[in-house]
Amino acid sequence: MEGLNLISTFAEFKELKSIDKPTMMGVLEDIFRTQLEKMYGEDAQFNIIVNVDKGDFEIWRTREVVETVENPATQISLEEVKAIDDSYEVGEDYTEEVKLSSFGRRGILNLRQNLQSRIMDIEKANLYNEYRDRVGEIVVGEVHQSWKKEALVRDENGNELVLPKSEQIPSDFFRKGDTVKAVIINVEMRNSTPVITLSRTANSFLEELFKQEVPEILDGLITIRKVVRIPGERAKVAVESYDDRIDPVGACVGVKGSRIHGIVRELRNENIDIINWTSNKQLLIQRALSPAKISSMEFDEENKSVRVYLKPSEVSLAIGKGGSNIRLAGMLADYEIEAYRELDENDANEEEDVMLDEFSDEIDEWIIEALKGIGCDTAKSVLALDVDELSHRADLEEETVIEVQKILRSEFEDE
Q: What is the pLDDT of residues 326-380, one digit of tens each?
A: 999 999 999 999 888 776 555 444 446 788 888 888 888 888 888 887 777 778 8
Closest by Cα among 374, 264, 381, 276 to 325:
374
Pick from 71-85, 114-128, 176-190, 369-383 the range whose average pLDDT is largest.
Answer: 176-190
Domain 278-337 in CATH 2.60.34.10? The answer is: no
Residue 249 has pLDDT above 60, yes or no: yes
* DSSP letters for 129-157: HHHHTTTT-EEEEEEEEE-SSEEEEE-TT
> What is the CATH code for 209-271?
3.30.300.20
> What is the CATH code for 348-414?
1.10.150
- pLDDT reported for residue 260: 94
Q: Which one of 3.40.50, 2.60.40, 3.30.70, 3.30.1480 gives the CATH number of domain 6-130?
A: 3.30.1480
Identical fold, 209-271 and 278-337: yes
The burial class, CB within 10 Å (0-12 / 13-18 / 19+), for 133 is: exposed
Q: Is 47 helix (H, G, I), strand (E, B) or coil?
A: strand
**392: which DSSP letter?**
H
Residue 11 has pLDDT above 70, yes or no: no
Pick from 25-29, 279-283, 314-318 the range whose average pLDDT is largest.
Answer: 279-283
- pLDDT reported for residue 7: 53
DSSP 3-state helix, strand, coil percentages of the chain (rounded to 5)?
Answer: 45, 25, 30
Q: Is 87 helix (H, G, I), strand (E, B) or coil?
A: coil
Higher local confidence (pLDDT), 6 or 169: 169
Residue 227 has pLDDT above 50, yes or no: yes
Cα–Cα distance for residue pair 6/4, rounded to 1 Å: 6
What residues have CB less than 8 Å from 15, skipping those under 6 apart? none
Residue 158 has pLDDT above 60, yes or no: yes
- Give the count of beta carbons closer than 10 Å to the beta carbon of residue 403: 15
What's the whole-number mean pLDDT along residues 175-180? 94
CATH topology of domain 143-201: OB fold (Dihydrolipoamide Acetyltransferase, E2P) (2.40.50)
- Give the count of beta carbons closer than 10 Å to the beta carbon of residue 257: 10
- pLDDT reported for residue 120: 83
* DSSP letters for 230-285: ETTTEEEEEEEES-TT--HHHHHH-GGGHHHHHHHHHTTS-EEEEEE--S-HHHHH
Provide the residue ranges of all domains of the chain, joining segments of one domain with +: 6-130, 143-201, 209-271, 278-337, 348-414
H-helix segments, 63-141:
78-82, 104-132
What's the whole-number mean pLDDT along residues 60-73? 88
